Structure 1
């Protein structure tokens, strides 16, 4: 939970800097309709879609603000802000920052990304070759889920030696199971032939 900040006196230079146009775009806030006034499926879908898009844009804006704050604030001030003044942990801040940096650097196509920063973060963790394969397979799309990216990484990164070892273990398990079944069959045959 964010702590309440103690007020401080702001200088004229600081006010001028605050009011100057920023390279970091401000999040877009739309007027929200009252839920009680919505009546149709289309009304609800439209309102929810707008809010979802706004949330997506806000995650990107938060990452950009964090990246900018990290360059402007002293290291102790930045970490202190993240640890004490923000409603999330440093690990979340770090992910948001990496997502914003990757999008701003053009490593990921902003117009084809899913609305979850956690999913996009998994995409950021792909190396350039993996990212290229992901794009070729249509994995980089708004419909992609986080688990889809994790599974994709596992498939790509599974070494042939690991697969061979896995196959050998499975073969040994099946052979042991077959030996157990064969022994049970032999025992039952012996028991049945003894009854005759």
Structure 2
């Protein structure tokens, strides 16, 4: 309702509408509840939602969230160290489970498992199994492997004659990088190629010497037969 205006002796008087006051008994709680409920169900919840789990990019496993009571350097270093170690144990244990599955399941069932029922590819499964075998067969101790399965696999895939050299050069350590192992492989396999070339040359030389000896013997026999004697 708009305010009314009156003029008295040249002075404009404005009459403001009176504000109505309500008494508590005028409100029906049940009626208010019935009016509000349909709208309340459509409003977004203000309750704090749990954050979605963080998944490991390689294996798809859920990464546990760090405790909220971490405060000091010791707290954080201890927790990070625990998770770092747990990551290494996780992919080794995963590989062991897959190796056990390969032993117990029929070949077709195992292929279904690794190609359709896992949160990672068949190729990754093969690598995890290879890492677990290397640990269980004593090729490398579990605590010496890097905490990332892709780097650990680079160590596992070294040739047998390369492994002692890698140990001697200090590559078998949790801190080793993939690049360092790849450079080591390149250097070792270049040496292998050079060694293979030397072996091939030695075999060829021995073959030629043998041919020359046979040829010289045949020449001497023909000259003797012809009575020509030694040249």
Establish whether TM, by shorter chain, passes 0.5.
Answer: yes
What stretches of structure 2 of length at least 5 have no aligned partner?
1-63, 196-231
Verify the 8 A CA contact 2:87 2:148 in the aligned structure 1.
no
Aligned to 2:146: 114
Equivalent residues in 2 for 1:73-84, closer than 5 Å:
73-84=105-116
2:189 equivalent to 1:146: no
Aligned to 1:61: 93
Q: How far apart in 1 are the matches of 2:141 and 2:119?
A: 28
103-112 or 71-80: bigger deviation: 103-112
Aligned to 2:119: 87
| RCO higher in structure (CA 8 A, sep ≥6) | 1
The change in CA–CA distance for 1:55 and 1:111 in structure 2 (over 3 A counts) is closer
Higher helix share: 1
Aligned to 1:155: 187
Q: For residue 43 of structure 1, report the CA deviation from its aligned partner.
A: 1.1
TM-score w.r.t. the length of structure 2 is: 0.53
TM-score w.r.t. the length of structure 1 is: 0.62
Q: For residue 79 of structure 1, report the CA deviation from its aligned partner.
A: 1.3
Aligned to 2:164: 132
Aligned-pair Cα RMSD in Å: 1.8
Equivalent residues in 2 for 1:96-111, closer than 5 Å:
96-111=128-143
How many residues are matched?
A: 130
What stretches of structure 1 of length at least 5 have no aligned partner?
1-30, 162-196
Higher strand share: 2
Q: For residue 111 of structure 1, report the CA deviation from its aligned partner.
A: 3.1
Aligned to 2:71: 39
